Amino acid sequence: MTKSKTIYYCQNCGTQSATWLGKCNNCGQWNTFVEEIVQSTSQKNKHDSNNFQSVPQLISEISDIPISRIDSGINELNRVLGSGIVAGSLVLLGGDPGIGKSTLMLQSALAMPDAKILYVSGEESSIQIKLRASRLKQKNNLCYIVNETNTQAIFSHINAIKPQLIIIDSIQTLQTSSLDSSAGTVSQIRETAAELQRFAKQTNTPVFLIGHITKDGMLAGPKVLEHIVDVVLQFEGDRNYGYRLVRATKNRFGSIDEIGIFEMTQTGLREVDNPSEILISQRDEDTTGVAIAATIEGLRPLLIEVQALVTAAIYGNPQRSSTGFDLRRLGMLLAVLEKKCGHKFGIKDVFFNIAGGIRTEDPAVDLAIIAALLSSSLDIAISTKDCFAGEISLSGEIRPVSRIEQRISEVQKLGYKRIFIASNNPKLPENNHIKVIRISKIEHLLAKLFIN
Ligand code: TYD
Ligand code: MG
């Protein structure tokens, strides 16, 4: 008879405890411990002992096989994965509900015409998936759909079909018969992911896991999942805008610098090859509070439009609001501007936005933000042919940013005539198409920007 044992798991970080705790010692969250029934250790060991087949090998004797990669059918996805899906890899795709995770995976499955694929859905019926597939207007006659949540049943389907790629939508709905706890709990997620990982490694079949994100933006359930998988992809973007970014936060087979950019359309996700052109709106010459920043997202240059609105504060406490940019960093930039240029932002409301629902953490955006704030505050428009790339230090100095040549060639391609950069950026080759304006301190920006 199977002896059962209960353990309390923190549903946030996966910490276990023999007794219930009000506050998790590890992540500090309250009320996250849930009792889960796990199989007794002796039973588990007995079961596992039959599977001990590993033999230690000398590193010099292990054959040097190059990583084989499969084309996912979507260039932007290949790019983030590091030029394709690695055989035998376990990839986790996380993102907010409704962002398009199921769409991306189904679209990739349909875009691989010769590959046999098993799409396991625990969330939607086969009819719903078929409806989505008809919207996508792509065809793969070897794509199987199954509604199943039990891993043992899934493995039996896999043995029958022998797919070349498996997609699990989502890991939170899976359940293994070896545990009694309900689907979505830490022990179930950990165990089912581990079963899939063993399967992927043994058969060299890649497995994609779709994972949910909690309201705090963490991958739901556990950090443990991130340790098990080979690649963690984050699907981001604002649901109200069409643009979506896929970013790797962990990749055992490639760099985590690349991003994939998509646009959600009526017929699924469209790959965006020239993101800069789309993120920038056409504006009139006299629009104030708008500036263009030459940023680098991943390895690609990306021009983004920053928008600021500075108005007199009616209530005692001036308002600060920021979309797509860290509010504290905006506060810091306002403080530097106030101290160095004497603008009284303390009595102004400041609203800040990055167009297109994009988020950026590239420090090179600082200079464009300062320019947009000055433009809105003084009500003077910045020329539509100007753009910016520079980081601001606490002392008000403009600091150089990385890969300036790449940024300049991108802005030049899009027809900009002037770029403002830090004066101590390295010397650049002669360029007659774009005027590079070097500034050392933010006090000097105003004169160079508005007085030609
Ligand atoms: P979905 O893939 O179901 O999101 P997730 O699996 O991440 O929860 O996509 C959901 C949204 O995408 C939904 O709001 C509808 C929209 N959508 C389109 O705009 N066009 C399309 O062709 C498809 C398939 C979905
Ligand atoms: Mg979904």
Say what the pLDDT of residue 383 is.
Answer: 92
Helices (H), 114-177: 126-136, 151-161
Q: Tell me which H or E stretch contains 412.
A: helix 404-413
Residue 167 C-alpha to ligand 2 middle, in angstroms?
12
Report, as an integer, the average pLDDT of 187-207: 91
Say what the pLDDT of residue 3 is.
Answer: 62
Q: Which pair of tokens denotes residue 424?
A: 């101590």
Q: Which pair of tokens denotes residue 312?
A: 């007199």
In the chain, the percentage of residues whose pLDDT exceeds 90 is 50
Say yes or no: CB of residue 267 within 6 Å of ligand 1.
yes
Is there a contact between 119 and 105 (Cβ–Cβ < 8 Å)? yes
Q: Which pair of tokens denotes residue 421?
A: 């950069």
Protein residue with its CA nearest to atom 1 in ligand 1: 100
Say yes or no: CB of residue 246 within 6 Å of ligand 1.
no
Q: Which of the two residues, 323 and 181, has the higher pLDDT score?
A: 323
Report, as an integer, the average pLDDT of 431-448: 90
Q: Which residue has the tokens 């719903």?
A: 128
Report, as an integer, the average pLDDT of 297-323: 90
Nearest to 207 by CA among 172, 174, 231, 175: 231
> Can you tell me the distance from the alpha carbon of 320 to that of 330, in angstroms, rounded to the nearest whole number?
9
Say what the pLDDT of residue 327 is.
Answer: 94
- pLDDT > 50? residue 189: yes
Residue 99 C-alpha to ligand 1 middle, in angstroms?
6
CA of 267, closest atom in ligand 1: 22
Mean pLDDT (the chain) is 87
Say yes or no: CB of residue 234 within 6 Å of ligand 1.
no
Say what the pLDDT of residue 12 is.
Answer: 77
Is there a contact between 368 and 324 (Cβ–Cβ < 8 Å)? no
**Span 213-264, pLDDT tens digits:** 765 555 555 567 888 899 999 888 877 777 888 988 899 988 887 888 898 8
* Residue-by-residue DSSP string for 174-205: -B-TT--SPTTSHHHHHHHHHHHHHHHHHHT-
Report, as an integer, the average pLDDT of 279-295: 86
Which one of 1-5, 86-90, 213-217 scores highest in mean pLDDT? 86-90
Say what the pLDDT of residue 216 is.
Answer: 58
Is there a contact between 80 and 247 (Cβ–Cβ < 8 Å)? yes
Say what the pLDDT of residue 41 is.
Answer: 47
> Can you tell me the distance from the alpha carbon of 420 to that of 350, in angstroms, rounded to the nearest whole number?
23
In the chain, the percentage of residues whose pLDDT exceeds 70 is 93
**Span 382-439, pLDDT tens digits:** 999 999 999 999 999 999 999 999 899 889 888 899 999 999 888 888 888 899 999 9
Say yes or no: CB of residue 281 within 6 Å of ligand 1.
no
Say yes or no: CB of residue 417 within 6 Å of ligand 1.
no
Q: Which of the two residues, 177 and 375, has the higher pLDDT score?
A: 375
Protein residue with its CA nearest to atom 22 in ligand 1: 268
Helices (H), 31-150: 41-49, 75-81, 101-110, 126-136
Confidence of residue 39 (pLDDT cuts 50, 70, 90): low
Q: Which pair of tokens denotes residue 292?
A: 């263009």
* Residues near 286 by beta carbon (within 8 Å), at least 6 away in sequence: 381
The architecture (CATH level 2) of 71-273 comes to: 3-Layer(aba) Sandwich (3.40)
CA of 135, closest atom in ligand 1: 22
Residue 30 C-alpha to ligand 2 middle, in angstroms?
29
- pLDDT > 70? residue 367: yes
> Can you tell me the distance from the alpha carbon of 208 to that of 165, in angstroms, rounded to the nearest whole number?
8
Q: Which pair of tokens denotes residue 59?
A: 């590193």
Rg (CA), the chain: 26
Residue 212 C-alpha to ligand 1 middle, in angstroms?
14
Nearest to 269 by CA among 303, 245, 248: 245
The architecture (CATH level 2) of 278-451 comes to: 2-Layer Sandwich (3.30)
- pLDDT > 50? residue 357: yes
**Span 135-187, pLDDT tens digits:** 988 777 789 999 999 999 999 999 999 999 999 998 989 998 888 778 878 88
Q: Tell me which H or E stretch contains 337.
A: helix 327-341
Instruction: Please provide the size of the chain in residues.
Output: 452
Say what the pLDDT of residue 257 is.
Answer: 78
From the CA of 121, which ligand is nearest? Answer: 2
Helices first, then strands: H and E counts in the chain: 12, 23
* CA atoms within 13 Å, Cβ hemisphere of 345: 25
Say what the pLDDT of residue 415 is.
Answer: 87
Q: Which residue has the tokens 């292990």?
A: 62
Q: Which of the two residues, 185 and 209, has the higher pLDDT score?
A: 209
Q: Which pair of tokens denotes residue 206?
A: 């890649």
Say yes or no: CB of residue 266 within 6 Å of ligand 1.
yes
Least confident of 238-247, 255-264, 303-312, 320-329: 238-247
Say what the pLDDT of residue 92 is.
Answer: 93
